[in-house]
Amino acid sequence: IKNPLTAIRAASEAIELGLRSMPNAEPDLIACSEAIIRQTDGLKRLVDRLGHLAQAGEIRKQTADLAALIKETVQNYSATHPHISFDLHLDAGIPPFAFDPEQMERVLANLIDNAISAIEGEGRISITTRLDGNMVRVDVADDGKGIPQEFLDRLFEPHFSTKRRGTGLGLAIVHRIVAEHGGSVSISPNEPKGTVVSLEIPVS
């Protein structure tokens, strides 16, 4: 699918450049070529997300430090989202355990992306971990606009999204990766506002 999309984008760019070089080019035609480029880029992103969903079951566990992974992931977002405050409450008693660091980073990135999208203007995202028996619990909470109660049961369905431009794949990917680790995901309101996504992953 990517090959024809790349060809369409390249042809659209050539058309746009040609139109811009014409002194009497119709502005509507230039706008149409720009729209084709934007929509093609959107389709390519969707294909990438579908690929990620298909690959989400390929779990390669290794002993790793979850706290270090969380800190590294958050650091990447802090630099590019200065309007968001990140609070980390990480249980020092969680030992290194077996999980797939690459896939778990994908989980964290999806949850942080969703939290940022839900926040209008300045906001706060908190990530809390704790060890409960043989399970590690990770809570990602935001103070954004929250999710209507009637949508909570559908959030893990592929292609269902509460965002206007959402692909509806982010939480489906999260759910699949965590399930492949033998864990579970739940979503609840954050008081006084926002959303909490909770992961439970076995320490094995």
- Would you say residue 51 has pLDDT above 70? no
Q: Write out the two tokens for 58.
A: 């390929």
| pLDDT tens, residue by residue, 67-101 | 999 999 999 888 888 899 999 999 999 999 999 99
142 falls in which pLDDT band (50, 70, 90)? Answer: very high
Q: Where are the domains of the chain?
A: 2-55, 62-202
What are the C-alpha distances in Å from 101 to residues 77, 158, 178? 17, 23, 12
- Would you say residue 161 has pLDDT above 60? no
Residues 80 and 157 sit within 8 Å (Cβ to Cβ): no
Residues 187 and 114 sit within 8 Å (Cβ to Cβ): no
Q: Write out the two tokens for 64.
A: 């790793």
Residues 46 and 167 sit within 8 Å (Cβ to Cβ): yes
CA-based angle 101:104:107, to the nearest 5?
155
- The pLDDT of residue 178: 93
| pLDDT tens, residue by residue, 79-88 | 888 899 999 9
- Report the pLDDT averaged over residues 110-137: 94
- Report the pLDDT averaged over residues 157-184: 72
Q: Which residues contact 129 (CB under 8 A, 6 or more apart)?
A: 66, 67, 70, 89, 90, 91, 94, 136, 137, 138, 139
**Across-strand partners of 85?**
124
pTM over 0.85? The answer is: no
Pairing verdict, β 62-64 and 123-132: unpaired
- Would you say residue 104 has pLDDT above 50? yes
143 falls in which pLDDT band (50, 70, 90)? Answer: very high
Is the CATH number 3.30.565.10 carried by domain 62-202? Answer: yes
- The pLDDT of residue 1: 62
Average pLDDT along the chain: 85
- The pLDDT of residue 124: 96
